[in-house]
Amino acid sequence: MSSNTHGALQKAKKSFQTLFEQAADGILIGNTEGKIIDANTSICEMTGYEKKELIGNNIMILFTKEELKKKPLEYEQLNAGKSVLRERKILKKDGKEIYVEMNTKKVADGRLQAYIRDITDRVKAQKKINEKNCELIKTRKNLETSNAQLLQLNKQLEEQKAELIRAKEKAEESDKLKSNFLANMSHEIRTPMNGIIGFAKLLENPGLSGERHQDFVRIIVQSGKRMLNIINDLIDISRIESGYTNLQKMNTDINKILLEHYEFFKYEAEAKNIKLNIHLEEPHKELILYTDPAKLTQILNNLLKNAIKFTNEGQIDFGYKKKNKRFLFFVKDTGIGIEHQMQNKIFERFRQVNMDSARPYEGTGLGLAISKAFIQMMGGSIYVDSEPGKGSVFSFTLPVENPVAEKNQE
């Protein structure tokens, strides 16, 4: 070898040595069993070992047992000519661990060459990012939970608001009903009172004919009865509301009660040119039901009085049908009828369809509320089916209670 060639080789070797030693990444050269043949300055700085401590040792000294168990060194792949890029933990001489990225390959002369880059800062930053991410996910979850709770709360508040509005409307309605009732009541009482006082005064006239006298007395008696009805209704509704109403059940002949009503209301209906028809099952027989006759009478009175009051032409049919274990009583008229939205409301106390000050019909709005309460006490129900301008059917059921022997009666 010429001295020139030798000099060039020496130069190339030195240049390679400089590149090897001063490379930014750590470099290890080893044989296929992992024995370290050479190491550069970077790997020594990274691990804290001196070059001589590394050379001759197996690369395994740079890893903990757990690390090797978790990520074994992959000689098989390397021998097959593949390069292996792994993130690993290296155990430094001082016992501390650092994170590295290790890129290993078998080079042409059969040696293994590993490029090792310290990525501890990157891994730590990544860890922090992951932690922050976890926190963010947690915060998001908490926010989602809070949001759901807020939505639920909002829903509850909306419901409570709607409930309050309903209660307010009900209270206003009830207030309106009460003041209407009071205005109505003073009118209802004053009218018969004026009748009684006015016609009683007229009776004082000594020149009054016998016929006129009779007419005035009739008006006074009618007004007195009207007063009595109002007072009775008031007593009934306050008894119902305070829970003081009792049933006085006894063996009651239904046919007889209905026929009495027919006889009583026939003339009142005729006076308005209305035909009153009664419908009984086996009218000539006694039909005994164990019930409260006074309350049944009062219910039928209310329904028939209303039917006549709210009918101007046509007819009124009333009676009963026996259906399974119930009696179905009905009062059907061809009167003014009731709008659909009022059909449930008319059973509330004080409630009248027409509540204007210029009401065309007299009444206190208590009759149906009292009837409904009595019917429910007796184990039945009341319904209305009506079409404005065509008429109404009020029906109510009473359970069939078999008559009892006289001695057991209340």
Non-local CB neighbours of 118 within 8 Å, separated by 6+ positions: 26, 46, 98, 99, 100
Q: Among 336, 373, 378, 382, which residue interacts with ligand ADP (rule: CB under 6 A)?
A: 336
Contacts of ligand ADP in 275-304 (CB under 6 A): 302
Q: Judged by CB, which is closer to ligand ADP: 192, or 367? A: 367
Rule CB under 6 A: say whether 61 interacts with ligand ADP: no
Name the nearest CA neighbour of 27 among 16, 11, 13, 15.
Answer: 16
Name the nearest CA neighbour of 116 among 41, 171, 219.
Answer: 41
Rule CB under 6 A: say whether 40 interacts with ligand ADP: no
Q: Among 26, 192, 319, 363, which residue interacts with ligand ADP (rule: CB under 6 A)?
A: 363
Instruction: Give the 3-state secondary structure of residue 134.
Output: helix
What is d(CA 378, CA 335) in angstroms, rounded to the nearest whole number? 28
Instruction: Give the 3-state secondary structure of residue 391.
Output: strand
Q: Judged by CB, which is closer to ligand ADP: 60, or 189? A: 189
Contact region with ligand ADP (CB under 6 A), list: 75-83, 133-141, 158-166, 328-336: 328-336
Q: How far is the CB of 405 from ligand ADP (least distance, A)?
A: 37
Q: Judged by CB, which is closer to ligand ADP: 106, or 351? A: 351
Inter-residue contact 179 to 172 (CB < 8 Å): no
Contact region with ligand ADP (CB under 6 A), list: 45-53, 206-214, 262-270, 329-337: 329-337
Q: Judged by CB, which is closer to ligand ADP: 62, or 308? A: 308
Q: Judged by CB, which is closer to ligand ADP: 253, or 348? A: 348
Name the nearest CA neighbour of 216 among 235, 196, 234, 239.
Answer: 196
Rule CB under 6 A: say whether 335 interacts with ligand ADP: yes
Contacts of ligand ADP in 166-225 (CB under 6 A): none
Which x/- pattern over 372-401 shows residues binding ligand ADP (rule: CB under 6 A)? --------------------x---------
Inter-residue contact 311 to 334 (CB < 8 Å): yes
Q: How far is the CB of 154 from ligand ADP (least distance, A)?
A: 42
Structural tokens at position 333: 């008229």
Contact region with ligand ADP (CB under 6 A), list: 63-71, 100-108, 122-130, 331-339: 331-339
Q: Is 108 left (phi over 0), alpha (psi -120 to 50) or beta?
A: alpha
Q: Judged by CB, which is closer to ligand ADP: 98, or 296? A: 296
Question: 3-state SS of the chain: helix, strand, coil percent to 5?
Answer: 55, 20, 25
Q: What is the torsion angle, in degrees rounded to the nearest 10, for the CA atoms of residue 395, residue 401, residue 406 and residue 410? A: -80
Q: Judged by CB, which is closer to ligand ADP: 57, or 343? A: 343
Q: Among 274, 367, 374, 398, which residue interacts with ligand ADP (rule: CB under 6 A)?
A: 367
Instruction: Give the 3-state secondary structure of residue 332.
Output: strand
Q: Judged by CB, which is closer to ligand ADP: 302, or 395? A: 302
Single-letter amino acid code for the residue at 360: P
Q: Judged by CB, which is closer to ligand ADP: 118, or 233? A: 233
Provide the edge-to-edge strand list for the sheet that holds 36-39.
36-39, 26-30, 112-118, 97-106, 84-91
- Measured at the CA of 386, the angle between CA 385 and CA 387, to 5 degrees, comes to 145
Binding residue count for ligand ADP, defined by CB under 6 A: 21
Q: Judged by CB, which is closer to ligand ADP: 291, or 392? A: 392
Contact region with ligand ADP (CB under 6 A), list: 7-15, 153-161, 246-254, 334-342: 334-342
Q: How far is the CB of 232 from ligand ADP (least distance, A)?
A: 12
- Measured at the CA of 246, the angle between CA 244 and CA 251, to 5 degrees, comes to 170
Which x/- pattern over 109-128 shows residues binding ligand ADP (rule: CB under 6 A)? --------------------
Name the nearest CA neighbour of 397 among 381, 376, 378.
Answer: 381
Structural tokens at position 120: 């501890």
Q: Which residues bind ligand ADP (CB under 6 A)?
A: 302, 306-307, 310, 333, 335-336, 338, 346, 351-354, 363-369, 392
